[in-house]
Amino acid sequence: MKGRIIVTGATGSMGSAAAEALASQGIPILMACRNLEKAAAVRADILRRVPGADLEVQPLDLASMASVRAFAEGVETGSVAALFNNAGVISKGFRLTEDGLENTFSVNYFGPWLLTQLLLPKLPQDAHIVNMVSLTCRYVSLNEVSLQPTEKEFSQLGTYARAKRALLSFSLELARRYPELRVNLADPGIVASDMIDLGHWYDPLADALFKPLCKSPQAGVRPALRALVEEKHNRYYIGKKSKDIPRRYIDPSLDERIWEETRRLINL
């Protein structure tokens, strides 16, 4: 693999774990981060453990389509070999972005969708693209209307699950339209990260009782790391194995409709 691997959300628990693991293998990393001050601290921390690691930091806010476009424009053709759409958020309340998109969907779906599309002309034909999904996808349904939830329809976990389900749909349609790409899905399971702190009064109790039973970020990101370096495609990486995409997610007609509605909503 020649070129950098882009890791979005590289300041988060799993993003920083992925950046460090890949850098320790001598792979150059482009850390795409919203908070540059935090990114500098994470980069310095990794360099203390992996001296000589090749870590570049660039600003990327997936809640802003303008930021996504600016980031993609700054990537030189041929400089990147793979894209790991890792960044995610579980919004604590309903909020619209500057683009009129619900924040959870923007960060988990619309931002990665647009970023991937804009980078395609700059990536190798057989580039590796790994999208981080979630086990919560299996508990929700999806249609075109789901992409724009109203405040009444919003719920922390439900909206997050539908946004990740939309990212899964995008992955399948991307693989159909660009069969030469190495498009794969990674499911980390339940990980002890700041992301599962939902802002409720009982969070400290949940931390004490629940988080010790969850995977570490280093363990949670391992399926994605394998997906990034293996030559397989259109696979679902979970735990220590990869498998065919679960049949419950196979719906080409839905994937095409979601794709076209997304194009309309972000004016691509």
In whole angstroms, how large is the CA radius of gyration of the chain? Answer: 17
pLDDT of residue 215: 78
What are the pLDDT digits (tens) for 108-167? 999 999 999 999 999 999 999 999 999 999 999 999 999 999 999 999 999 999 999 999
Q: How many whole angstroms separate alpha carbon 33 and alpha carbon 101?
A: 20
**Which three-class secondary structure string do you get for the chain?**
CCCEEEEECCCCHHHHHHHHHHHCCCCCEEEEECCHHHHHHHHHHHHHHCCCCCEEEEECCCCCHHHHHHHHHCCCCCCEEEEEECCCCCCCCCCECCCCCEHHHHHHHHHHHHHHHHHHHHCCCCCEEEEECCHHHHHCCCCHHHHCCCCCCCCHHHHHHHHHHHHHHHHHHHHHHCCCCEEEEEECCCECCHHHCCCCCCHHHHHHHCHHHCECHHHHCHHHHHHHHCCCCCEEEECCEEEECCHHHCCHHHHHHHHHHHHHHCCC
- pLDDT level of residue 267 (50, 70, 90 thresholds): confident
What are the pLDDT digits (tens) for 59-93? 999 999 999 999 999 999 999 999 999 999 999 99
Residues 6+ apart with CB under 8 A from 54: 4, 23, 27, 28, 29
Which pTM value belongs to this model? 0.91
What is the rounded average pLDDT for all residues in the chain?
Answer: 92
pLDDT of residue 212: 52
Structural domain boundaries in the chain:
4-189+221-265
What are the pLDDT digits (tens) for 176-234? 999 999 999 999 988 776 654 455 443 444 444 344 547 798 999 999 999 999 999 99
> Residue 7 is encoded by which pair of tokens?
């890791």
Residue type, 36: L
Question: Does residue 46 surpass a pLDDT of 70?
Answer: yes
pLDDT of residue 38: 97
Class of the CATH domain delimited by 4-189+221-265? alpha beta
pLDDT of residue 214: 72
Question: Does residue 250 surpass a pLDDT of 60?
Answer: yes
